[in-house]
Structure 1
Amino acid sequence: MIDRPLDLDAVRAFILIVELGSFTLAAEATETTQAAVSLKLKRLEERLDCRLVERTPRHVQLSAQGAAFLEHARELLKVHDRAFSVFTEQQERLVIGISDHVAGPELPALIARMNQQDRQLLIEVRIGSSSDLLRSFDRRELDAVIARFDAGRDDGKIIATEKFGWFAAEGWQHRTGDPLPVATMPEPCGVRRLAEKYLDEAGIPWTEVFVGGGVMAVSAAVMAKLGVAALARRMLPLGANDVGIRLGLPELPSLPILLHTRVRDGRSHTALSELSVAFKGAVRD
């Protein structure tokens, strides 16, 4: 029989380890050390007298007991937060801008998880180009922005870097002698400028065949076999292939993802830390 209550911080650490798939990322999300996170999990396992997580050099995996405990752990934190919310005055609001080139297919699940973890925090997300979002941030219309690196700014914190490549639909062929057909986003997209720069410096003739208002539109043009596009792999639908080497295109660099924020503490700060680490995990995978 369990005669002492569970440490809620340890329970929260266990959930983060599972959801982020890493002790290191869980430590970054809580702004502590990996050793501290490991110690919390160890004490929780000792308290429950079972092993919750199987540790391997590359990833963590739930044990049978951990899988059975996970939903109960989540429910325990929900009940705690609901009870605590009785004494809070009002719901806090966090308005985040996320660059179209950063927001990937995992975004809805990440936001849903954040809302479930803290019912007193309302998260509003706006998707757009990095330049537009940063202008809104400067006008104080946004609390934070997660965007690609902007050469004109030095106020962001790098949370991840992501490799870009040249992608085309399976079976698409470039006709010899024709300029390279490129699908891209409109100015002033930084990835567009980067692709143009590398093609021009390599002396590769190219022509713009599609301009889309977002990454999804550009990806659709790629899958429709209109041409190639400079994109990150995680943004692509199934069936897109990296054709850079086959076509002799210049290798594109890894681009940093930065967090610009004026939020320094409270619920919003905690949520931003967890979201930043979740993006890092998604890019890493």
Structure 2
Amino acid sequence: MTERTLDLDAVKAFVRIAELGSFTHAAEAMGTTQAAVSLKLKRLEDRLGFRLVERTPRYVELSARGAGFLEHARELLAVHDRALFAMAKARQRLAIGISDHVAGPELPALIARMNAQDPQLLIEIRIASSGDLLQSFDRRELDTVIVRLHAGRDDGKIITQEKFGWYAAPGWQHRTGEPLPLATMAQPCGVRALAGQLLDAAGIRWTEVFVGGGVMAVTAAVMAGLGVAALSPRMLPFGAVDAGPKLGLPAIPQLPVLLHTRVKDERARDALAALSAAFRSAVRG
């Protein structure tokens, strides 16, 4: 029987496809092209002698044998990493700041994926407003920040664009003649500032009825019926409705998510590339 040796890059490509559900997102995470990822997968399938992924025009799905191989593939990569870095004296620290308006419910799974990808990286996460995080980044307290667009800066790399709307609890009604009640985050918050600017430009009176320390607090206020908030749909609990069209509120433009980093180490950059691709996947749904 001919000995079959697996290409670790091909195995890594398969795991990325399985985790992100997309050849495109896998290529972005690995810093290569979709064609290269497809070729790696084909070579791996040829080496194994069976199909790992079922491809359709609309989605990517693991075959039955591919699903069975996935855990073995993860174990193989983990053993490789442990062997490669067994002699390392200390884990490498990577301090990441993520805007509360960006983090979202997917964050714990994303961080767990990063930790699993490279056990030798000690990943520290700070959640705060974009303005606070950028100040910490400039003071070199953080290696990387993932934030919303911040006025006066052009040194970040756009990861993705995300839509926003004016969300309220189902059945919530605006009382005629009263200022529009808003639930917002505390200053400095770029989304809060943008919401006020849009309403002012449209000549709509508004007032802050709730100022929270994070997006989760703001969404809780919205679902309690206190008012409306400018939020991304992925941040909302099931049942929240976009009240903007009914109330005649100005459209909120898509807002970019930007990566600011001074990281140059290849391992840390690989982890950030995977995190960026995962955020793109979460935003695009």
Bucket of the pairwise TM-score, normalised by the shorter protein: over 0.9
Q: CA deviation at 1:101?
A: 0.4
1:1-285 equivalence runs, <5 A: 3-285=3-285
**Following the alignment from structure 1 to structure 2, what is the Cα–Cα distance between the partners of residues 196 and 88?**
51
**Following the alignment from structure 1 to structure 2, what is the Cα–Cα distance between the partners of residues 189 and 34?**
36
CA RMSD of aligned residues (A): 1.0
- Read off the aligned partner of 2:59 and give its amino acid letter: H
SS in 1 for 2:164: strand
After TM superposition, the runs of 4+ consecutive aligned structure 1 residues lying more than 3 A away are: none
**Following the alignment from structure 2 to structure 1, what is the Cα–Cα distance between the partners of residues 231 and 165?**
6
The change in CA–CA distance for 1:70 and 1:206 in structure 2 (over 3 A counts) is same
The change in CA–CA distance for 1:183 and 1:40 in structure 2 (over 3 A counts) is same
The change in CA–CA distance for 1:2 and 1:64 in structure 2 (over 3 A counts) is farther
**Following the alignment from structure 1 to structure 2, what is the Cα–Cα distance between the partners of residues 38 and 265?**
27
**Following the alignment from structure 1 to structure 2, what is the Cα–Cα distance between the partners of residues 254 and 86?**
45
Q: CA deviation at 1:5?
A: 1.4
Deviations 1:137-168 (A, max 9, x none): 00100000000011211110000000000000
SS in 1 for 2:101: coil
Q: CA deviation at 1:266?
A: 2.1
Structure 1 length as normaliser, TM-score? 0.98
**Following the alignment from structure 1 to structure 2, what is the Cα–Cα distance between the partners of residues 57 and 3?**
35
- Read off the aligned partner of 2:54 and give its amino acid letter: E
**Following the alignment from structure 2 to structure 1, what is the Cα–Cα distance between the partners of residues 154 and 65?**
46
- Read off the aligned partner of 1:155 and give its amino acid letter: D
- Read off the aligned partner of 2:129 and give its amino acid letter: S
Q: CA deviation at 1:58?
A: 2.4
**Following the alignment from structure 2 to structure 1, what is the Cα–Cα distance between the partners of residues 41 and 233?**
34
State the identity %: 73
The runs of 5 or more residues in structure 1 that have no matched partner are: none
**Following the alignment from structure 2 to structure 1, what is the Cα–Cα distance between the partners of residues 50 and 281?**
27
**Following the alignment from structure 1 to structure 2, what is the Cα–Cα distance between the partners of residues 118 and 213?**
32
Structure 2 length as normaliser, TM-score? 0.98
Q: CA deviation at 1:87?
A: 2.8
Contact 2:132 2:188 in 1 (8 A): no
Deviations 1:211-270 (A, max 9, x none): 001111111100110000000000111121111111111111000000000012321111
Contact 2:117 2:271 in 1 (8 A): no
SS in 2 for 1:252: coil
**Following the alignment from structure 1 to structure 2, what is the Cα–Cα distance between the partners of residues 2 and 284?**
44
Of 163-172 and 88-97, more deviation after overlay is shown by: 88-97
**Following the alignment from structure 1 to structure 2, what is the Cα–Cα distance between the partners of residues 161 and 153?**
17
**Following the alignment from structure 1 to structure 2, what is the Cα–Cα distance between the partners of residues 265 and 27?**
20
**Following the alignment from structure 1 to structure 2, what is the Cα–Cα distance between the partners of residues 223 and 254?**
23
The number of equivalent residue pairs is 285
